[in-house]
Structure 1
């Protein structure tokens, strides 16, 4: 009878040996990126749990850590819903609970720091990128509170054209809008912070903002991306949307410029194209009014190519160049918002 408690004690100790370095590693990462409240809650819970498992005399610590982890998980599952921004599982319009478990801020800032540290992002394009990203999360957090993020399901490989997550931001004071902006994400996945930023510009025309998800690469021009966009259009048409603008950021801009005339169902009018820091510059002119927003020092999507593309648009093109690099959408967010909202109001003014 005595062997059973001894066996359980050894198993608990071995589990503590496994969890302790993980918890310490997460503590270091949380300190490095300045983690969110829930991020620190996860770290503290793991530290307490591993400390309790390693100490026979303080097993109560493990129960405290386990309780803290449950508290963080349950709090995010209940409250990570946003004020207006919502992550829907289309076309059913349900929710994936996994998207609520982790604060998008923690994973995004960790990835940003890692990409900069390893040199995967050019320094010329990333001056002020991390502070701009932190400020964007601060703005969104103030307005929305805790939100879910489709980035989790994306990296788990759960997105498909038949079942995908979309960030949806309805306009204020209008229950049944008749226009929408579909905004395609770039490389690394669909992030709430980018969709929320676009929605701040779209609100000027009281339109619905929808940001569908494809794989982490943001390869919208591949078959899955095209089918996902087609399914998004179909969902909008069923909601009574009559006019739509297609936009994209970085790789999403490349995809939008390639898919501009594909998948739009009868009864849904494509009113224009919004390309931010990305386009298929060798593609034929889209033939619809197009706004191009570009950073002057962008080397990831070369500015010279974007200028040439904008020139070929002729009278249907509007080109706005900002004093920034590839991440102008964040570090020049006010200028981007002003350019997009002004262009959208002009386009909607032609309708009314």
Structure 2
């Protein structure tokens, strides 16, 4: 029972608590990025069909992205049996390091966070807002068509850290980087293939893209999107596929459409020996299936690496990706038949 003497104190405490939270919210609203970029920024938020309002005044945009992940790492061990406390601690430290460097880059800091789009899927709301990150290497000739890499994020949402890390590959290879957002990363749901198509088409209106040199990559659950896009009528638009700790749709790569479109084309798979989410035997199985379809599969295995090697082994991974795409972008050598005709 609340006595008359205690009631004013409780009410006062309630108002103090409310005022504190309100002050924090106002402070976050003032200091958080508004999602807009300068004219000469290397990276920007884009929306298919034109500007869609950035969700600035929601918690997922007000709270720094890295802090959202730190909270997630504390909670995930209680709901995900595969996520150990040791793994959460290691990934937390890796993420802090990456975001410390990322947020010191004005162009990437200005992006804010598009995590509200991922949370929309959790709340069973519309989550495909047509968003994608568009990264254009500095010094790239905006008048000449450039090669492009379309990257599909994994489960949890389109963390801007992915685009920041891959910008290194884009810079070294002179590629435009297109990173579409698709909620929590359930690319196998209806609309996943269309989201990839729409982002690629829209980016082509912003900067000239060489339609003969477009590549597709996916991380973790993004691999589902890669395999499904590859087996769809959109598959013919891409020159190569890359799976990073990737999940694969076995049914998609077993189709005649996949075989027809990917026979003789290159596929890169990077995986870790200690990946308990996409085990090595599963990866070897889908690699074998793609080889049976005629694809030129290269598989790179990192000893001791788990599912999160893109963060833990990022330097090695990015260097390998740069070498891979440099090879794919190199002019094809003339065949012996062509040489004889000269």
TM-score (norm 1): 0.74
Task: Tell me the distance in 2 between the aligned counterparts of 1:154 and 1:186.
Answer: 11
Task: Tell me the distance in 2 between the aligned counterparts of 1:174 and 1:15.
Answer: 60
TM-score (norm 2): 0.76
Contact (CA 8 Å) 2:35, 2:112: kept in 1 or not? no
Deviation per residue, 1:243-285 (Å, 9 max, x gap): 31111111101221122143539xx841111110113263336
| Within-5 A mapping of 1:195-234 | 195-216=163-184, 218-234=185-201
Identify the residue that residue 17 of structure 1 maps to in structure 2.
14
Task: Tell me the distance in 1 between the aligned counterparts of 2:53 and 2:81.
Answer: 33
Q: 2:76 aligns with which of 115, 120, 123?
A: 115
Assess, with a 3 A threshold, how the Cα gap between structure 1 residues 235 and 264 changes in structure 2: closer, same or farther. farther
Identify the residue that residue 150 of structure 1 maps to in structure 2.
114
Structure 2, gaps ≥5 residues long: 1-6, 334-342
Alignment partner of 1:73 is 2:24 = no
Return the offset for 1:111.
0.8
Assess, with a 3 A threshold, how the Cα gap between structure 1 residues 312 and 350 changes in structure 2: closer, same or farther. farther
Q: 1:135 aligns with which of 81, 84, 97?
A: 97
Task: Tell me the distance in 2 between the aligned counterparts of 1:71 and 1:270.
Answer: 45
Contact (CA 8 Å) 1:230, 1:263: kept in 2 or not? no
| Within-5 A mapping of 1:213-292 | 213-216=181-184, 218-239=185-206, 240-241=208-209, 242=211, 243-264=213-234, 269-280=237-248, 282=250, 283-284=253-254, 286-287=262-263, 288-292=265-269
Structure 1, gaps ≥5 residues long: 1-9, 21-45, 51-64
Task: Tell me the distance in 2 between the aligned counterparts of 1:290 and 1:107.
Answer: 34
Return the offset for 1:317.
1.2
Contact (CA 8 Å) 2:49, 2:202: kept in 1 or not? yes
Q: How many residues align?
A: 298
Task: Tell me the distance in 1 between the aligned counterparts of 2:233 and 2:15.
Answer: 50
Per residue, is there more helix in 1 or in 2?
1
